[in-house]
Amino acid sequence: MPDADDDIDDTEVTDGGAAWMQDAGLVEELKKAIVAGGDRVCIEDEAFLRRFLYIAKGDVTKAASRHARYWEYRIKLFGSERPFDKAHAALSRGERCEATLRTCPFVKILDGARDKEGCQLLLVRPRYLDWRKVDEQQVIEAMWYTIETLLQDAETQRCGFCAINSLKGMSPKAFNRKFMPKMLESVQNRLPIRIGAMRVVDNPGFFSVIWSIEKTKKRIEVLGGDYARLLNRLPKESIPEEFGGTYVVRD
């Protein structure tokens, strides 16, 4: 299996006019590659399979490789249930994820809010994670559930998403530094979605020490309390009010 791509460092957004997107035969090629690779699961859903072609920019081999990694991890999380969609929101695992997000609303889709490149905005607030009420498995399940909800939108499939990570209210004790790499590893190179960028705001002083040791991704930008830099990158109407924008977050 080829080496995994880096979803964060990949700066090229899929070209919506690329010739490969008009090639109906690519989906059939992908199905054959999936079967040849011995994958346990192959859903006969063109829209679903095209997600993997989008992120691989039409490269069938890369798309099949990601598809295999996706199902390997997804089955580990959810068993053999099909991908979440609106028609299957009542699945037991989906209900569990919804319950996790009600208990600890650490991640939220900002409906209708996009950055200047068209990426859907996702607000991540680790301060809402109460490790006395949820465990790491539940949090990763809820993140996957959220991202698969994002993937129902065709534009997000094409452009990906931009995460605003607010570390306001975090303490060294609450910051689970061992868990953060697990979360990224669970999403990167598995889910068929591009992480357009990550903006870290309101990071506490101790985070700078951790960041100097652990920073490896060039598209993760630490802004601290400099909200004006967010305004340079995102439309004001897409930025939550607490960061100097006009978007109203309704919890």
Residues 38 and 105 both lie in one domain: no
The answer to whether residue 68 sits within a structural domain is yes
Give the span between the Cα atoms of 227 and 244, in whole angstroms.
6
Residues 111 and 234 both lie in one domain: yes
Residues 106 and 230 both lie in one domain: yes
Give the span between the Cα atoms of 49 and 70, in whole angstroms.
12
pTM of the model: 0.80
- At CA 97, angle to CA 72 and CA 145, rounded to 5? 50
Residues 220 and 141 both lie in one domain: yes
What pLDDT does 18 receive? 57
Residues 238 and 146 both lie in one domain: yes
- Give the range of the structural domain holding residue 58, as residue numbers without chain letter: 24-78
Residues 64 and 116 both lie in one domain: no
What pLDDT does 180 receive? 75
What's 166's domain CATH number? 3.40.525.10
The answer to whether residue 61 sits within a structural domain is yes
The answer to whether residue 5 sits within a structural domain is no
The answer to whether residue 14 sits within a structural domain is no
The answer to whether residue 213 sits within a structural domain is yes
Domain count, the chain: 2
The answer to whether residue 1 sits within a structural domain is no
Residues 106 and 172 both lie in one domain: yes
The answer to whether residue 8 sits within a structural domain is no
Residues with Cβ < 8 Å from 221, sequence gap 6 or more?
197, 198, 199, 200, 229
Choose the final residue of a domain: 16, 51, 78.
Answer: 78
pLDDT tens string, the chain, 251 residues long: the values are 334 455 654 444 445 445 556 667 898 899 899 988 876 666 667 888 888 998 888 899 999 999 999 988 888 887 765 555 444 444 567 788 899 999 999 999 999 999 988 899 999 998 898 888 989 989 999 999 999 899 888 888 878 899 998 988 776 666 666 787 788 788 888 999 888 888 889 877 666 544 544 544 556 788 888 899 888 889 999 999 999 999 999 87
Gyration radius (Cα) of the chain, Å: 18
Residues 162 and 74 both lie in one domain: no
Strand locations in 15-139, DSSP E? 107-114, 120-124
What pLDDT does 10 receive? 46
